[in-house]
Chain A
């Protein structure tokens, strides 16, 4: 293997790892994918150290160790599936290294997210469904629909603008609390509690919670603890947003 090709192999492994971490894959899966790819590319003794903020990859032998940092984290299951498919076809020799690297680059540039309006609609429908699952009355469904959709939209837009996760989730849940409180005190809806709980569900850090546990159980304590901290912070932000609005209720809103 000549030098340029070797470099490309190392970059491909790191890129695959980074894309998966950014999309919210479990840490042990990222490690597994990178070592499998390295084994196919004849890097004996390759090893990696993955945390939720960065990956250190050592290709083994006298090759250079490289690292990559992970600055943004989102939930993008489509990306995980695509990178997984590429690494599978690389390890089964259906794809050459050059093809795989080009494909990975394509995934990096690509945007596979659903359009924003569809995500908002999904959040709204999910909130309305949760209202029924949590034992709410049918006539309160429209309020959960509206509050859930608007809350999710505001949280996402604030996140785009400010890049501070805590703040965006706080604002989103505060708006949800405000809408729910307004509809109930205007006499339109009843069951304030259930409307709030159902509308807040789209903001819940579901992926973080499950991943934190899975990583802890797989022995990735660094990644597990840091993901757990992120999940706790998110939950705390949602809680305090709602708490702020509920405290207004006492003041006589």
Chain B
């Protein structure tokens, strides 16, 4: 049940981000779909596979976003960025960044450093997920086109 609720709301959030980023109107639902897939992969892998490790889960989430976005971009012949940007938004470690800042405000720098490191690690793993997925997909497509 939690997953259904999360699926619906991550879909909604990503599609709304499609509006803010002015995606082509016909592609809004696809943006939402990409976002929902990314978030559900993140959530499921964090809670079921990785015992709450948000860093590795972010990698998997971003990887899923990039794969789906890439397939859509091949399918509709539009730049991949249109699908991936809105999809990546739910994975951005907003909460952890907020906690960093809040701890700095309260002058508890020890706690702030821990949160800051986590923000850095999560953003890095999102980046790695995006890039890895892209490289792997490109390798697959290249192989296919040389076989033909």
Contacts and interface: CB of A to CB of B under 8 A. Distances in A.
Nearest to A213: B127
Nearest to B10: A133
Interface string B6-34: 10011011001111111111010000000
A75 B89 CA distance: 14
Interface residues of B, number: 43
A126 B102 contact: no
Contact of B82 (A80, A113, A196, A200): A80
A247 B21 contact: no
Contacts of B9: 129-130, 132-133
A77 B16 contact: no
A119 interface: yes
A25 B20 contact: no
- A-side interface mostly: helix
Interface residues of A, number: 50
Contact of B94 (A114, A122, A201, A246): A201
A132 B79 contact: no
Most-contacted residue by chain B among A81, A134, A197, A209 (CB, 10 A): A81
B5 interface: yes
B118 to A, nearest CB: 14
B72 interface: no
Contact of A114 (B22, B27, B78): B22
Contact of A207 (B5, B85, B102): B85
Given A119-B19, A129-B16, A201-B94, A77 B82 contact: yes
Contacts of A201: 13, 89, 92, 94
11 contacts: A29-B81, A77-B21, A80-B82, A81-B24, A81-B79, A123-B20, A133-B6, A202-B20, A206-B89, A206-B92, A209-B88
